Amino acid sequence: MASSDKRKAEEGLAEPSETAKRPRVDETEADAPAKLSLKLEILERAKRTLQQKKEFLAAAKKAQAAAAAAASTPAPRQEQAPAVAEPGAGRSQKPAVGTAEEEAPADEGAFFDPEIGHRGGRRMDQRRRGGLQFVEEGKFQKQAEISRLRASPAPAPVPAVEWWDARLLTDKTSYGAAAEGEPSIREERITHLIEHPVLIDPPGEAPLPPPQPLMLTKKEKKKMRTQNRQAREKEKQELIRQGLLEPPPPKVKISNLSRVLGEEAAADPTAIETEVRRQMGERAAAHEDRNLARKLTPAEAREKKLRKLLGDPEADPTTSVSLYKVGSLARPQLKFKVSLNAQENHMTGVGLAVEGEFTLVVVEGPPKAQRRYVNDSGTVLKPSFRKFRVETLRNAAAAKAFLGQYNLSHYWDLAEASVPE
């Protein structure tokens, strides 16, 4: 029987049993009231958790604000009572579903100390203070002026009696406070001694003279001229490269005619050659004009020659004087040589020829002309003679009297006292 039923069931021909014929009831419909109450409880718990989070965020914001205020102006410490949590608010309940909710952190506002401050608040305050702070115009100038005014001492009042006069006055408080009939000055204090104050260097002392220029040889001077010319040419090329100066036209000659002009020279060689020769003539004429412009006039050439012979009169304002003691100048040839040499060297002075004695020649002029037969030499402020001449006198007294007219009688004394070597 059992085997036949099993066979029918396998073949799909068996009749449904009682359990199979009974209608199937859905488990979700049976547990619907229980699951609805569970969802409401979860929603309530989630709502309370969200409310706690909002309260915690509000307390954290208040703590940050209090930390910023405490960093700027610290407030006295106040005792705060710990906040009392609502019953059941922090109690964690195991949910019916397998997921667990995170526990809400406790309120930190109750444990905040405003004197210590908040680390995050301090960092925010430092960032806030580290911004750009612009200085008003003229602030430091005013500070410098105030410091200078404070540093500069006030001028001392003018005393009634100076300290160097108080030693000599009878009354040291006033110049004219002595009684009538009494001397106001203590003359016993005045002695023949002279007080020399300490020498103080002047504040505006003249600077030291510049060093003398280095004397160059002819080869070195030529090298310096070449270097200066190359420097000028390089500067000119730089100006042309920058467009500040117009480049000069090409320097065309007969030798480089075909290389410079190229096809133009082959097109009309006669006209091109004529133009090139005209340009060559213009360049030669310009060269001659430059030479004439640099050439000295006869007056300038004479002045240059005198400057070379006599030296620069502005460099040394004094005049060199030399005394020459020579033998007799009775012969006219000797007088002519002495006079001509002095005139050619642009020297002034006088020659005193005394009969039977020596001849004294006084010469004023540059040192280059005073090299031989020097008896005595020196410098004077200005020359005493306008030109050179030779005077023949009878005796030494007449010669000394002649020099006395120019306040130079001591020249004769020097010549008489000298001994020839």
Asked whether the predicted pLDDT for residue 193 surpasses 90, the reply is: no
Q: How far apart are CA 291 and CA 137, in angstroms?
A: 62
User: Among the listed ranges 81-90, 301-310, 380-389, which one has the minimum average pLDDT value?
Assistant: 81-90
Residue-range domain boundaries for the chain: 38-68+101-127, 220-245, 318-417
Going from the C-alpha of 79 to that of each of 82, 110, 111, 230, the distances in angstroms are 10, 10, 10, 92
Q: How far apart are CA 46 and CA 51, in angstroms?
A: 9
Percent of the chain surpassing pLDDT 70: 70
pLDDT range class, residue 99, cuts 50, 70, 90: very low
| Mean pLDDT along residues 173-186 | 71
Other beta carbons within 10 angstroms of residue 260's beta carbon come to 14
Residues 6+ apart with CB under 8 A from 391: 350, 351, 352, 353, 402
Residue that wins the pLDDT comparison between 112 and 377: 112
Q: How far apart are CA 62 and CA 274, in angstroms?
A: 104
CATH class of 318-417: alpha beta
Are 319 and 381 spatial neighbours (Cβ–Cβ below 8 Å)? Answer: yes
Complete edge-to-edge strand list for the sheet that includes strand 348-354 = 376-380, 319-326, 359-365, 348-354, 388-393
Pairing of strands 319-326, 376-380: antiparallel
Contacts 24+ apart (CB under 8 A), 372-376: 373/324, 373/325, 373/326, 374/322, 374/323, 374/324, 375/322, 375/323, 375/324, 375/325, 375/414, 375/415, 375/418, 376/322, 376/323, 376/411, 376/414, 376/418
21-77: pLDDT as tens digits: 444 544 445 455 556 667 788 888 888 888 888 888 888 888 888 877 776 654 455
| Mean pLDDT along residues 323-337 | 80
pLDDT range class, residue 219, cuts 50, 70, 90: very high
Residues 6+ apart with CB under 8 A from 56: 104, 105, 107, 108
Q: Quick one: which of 398, 393, 345 has its CA closest to 368?
A: 345
Are 124 and 68 spatial neighbours (Cβ–Cβ below 8 Å)? Answer: yes
Burial of 107-128, coded b for 16+ CB within 10 Å and e otherwise, reads: bebeebebeebbeebeeebeee
